[in-house]
Amino acid sequence: MTPFSWEAGLLPLVLGGTALYKFKKSQSRTMSSPVVLCHSALICLWGAYCFSSLSVFWAWTLFSLACCISLAYSTSQEMLPVDGRAVLITGGDSGIGHALSKYLDELGFTVFVGVLNENGPGAEVLKKTCSKRTSVVQMDITNPDQIKEVQAQIAEKVQHTGLWAVVNNAGVLGTVGDGELLPMNIYRQCMDVNFFGAVEVTKAFLPLLRKSRGRFINVSSMAGAVPMKLYAAYSSSKAALTMFSGVMRLELKKWGIKVALIHPSGFRTNIGGTKELWMKQEKDILENMSPDVLEAYGRDYLRSSTWPSLQYFSKMPSDFSPLFTDVLHGILCKNPSALYTAGVFSYLWICLLSYFPVSVFDYVANKIFHSNTLPKALT
């Protein structure tokens, strides 16, 4: 080989080795070991293919290019330090918001937890178990006055460090049942909390995030991305939040504010309510159902079609760690993803709806969420 050929081959060699080293070092700070190993394995396989099929020069060139692309991606995925960054979480009374507040407190964040009842059991637990960095504040997100009050309190406390992130987590399930059977007040309740509440919080805290060039993390639901039977009110409100997040992501980019959307699959929380609550909701629906609809569905249909969902809620995974990993990545990553799908099979549902004919999605959904119960008029 001529001296020129050696020099031409040496440059990609040095570049490829350096990029691979920096890539592995960068990824080890931002990703779990299995992910790092997977990325490294893919690069190695690509290198093996290049060297077995191409000349030395082109093999090193393409291998180096792959390493540089991976390095550029991994650099954008680097995590910022916690450094006491301030985060507001809504819906901290119980469930995901409650556990997330404890998790971020343990990591060293300054946490403001908005709760529906500051004297309730969930709020008291947070006050006792979290550090002094965590403040529990009364904030019903359907009450604009309370939101403004909390905004003023937080602005006073973080005037030097700024508010880094807002996690719009608060949400309600409403009532489970066929869309025709749900009273309009259930639709309004879901929209008030799951959509309008999140919008109100976003608008109120935008000035604080504009100063810090921080980010919004909106916790939607898989039901807001794919249609699910019996969840008409809940799904519609979460779908509205999903679209709002996308629009705000585009609009707030000019301010340096990032918006991340999370579509969790099912996790075991108390959002489903209790057996007593379901009995009350069932009674309310039957009492407000028009005679012709009641005749078509029958009095027994509602319970036999919806109550299996109560058992479904109890069987959901109670480990929030996949969700917390995504939330943390959205809060601290230099370039967070626009969409996170936390939980088992969550992304597969979106793929099924997006890339397959609707008939295929409908068939799979009806098979998985199959019910032997039919309305009275169809039996």
Q: Which of 187, 231, 234, 297 is catalytic?
A: 234
Contact between 56 and 48 (Cβ < 8 Å): no
Q: How far is CA 150 from the centre of its chain?
A: 24
Answer yes or no: are the C-beta atoms of 173 and 272 closer than 8 Å: yes
Number of C-alpha atoms within 13 angstroms, CB side, residue 261? 22
Check: CB of residue 72 under 8 Å from CB of residue 27: no
Helix or strand run (H / E) with residue 61 = helix 56-76
CA dist., res. 125 & res. 324, Å (int):
20
CB neighbour burial string for 184-211, b if at least 16 within 10 angstroms, e if fewer:
eebbebbbbbbbbbbebbbebbbebbee
Sign, CA torsion 231/232/234/235: positive
DSSP string, 262-296: E-------GGG--HHHHHHHHHHHHHHS-HHHHHH
Give the type of residue at 216: F
312 catalytic per annotation: no
The CA distance from 212 to 206, in Å, is 10
Count of C-beta atoms within a 10 Å radius of residue 177: 25
Length of the chain: 379
Question: DSSP letter at 77?
Answer: T
Give all strands of the β-sheet with 258-262 in edge-to-edge order.
134-138, 110-115, 86-90, 163-168, 215-219, 258-262, 339-340
| The token pair that represents 263 in the structure block | 């579509």
Q: Annotated active-site positions, please?
A: 234
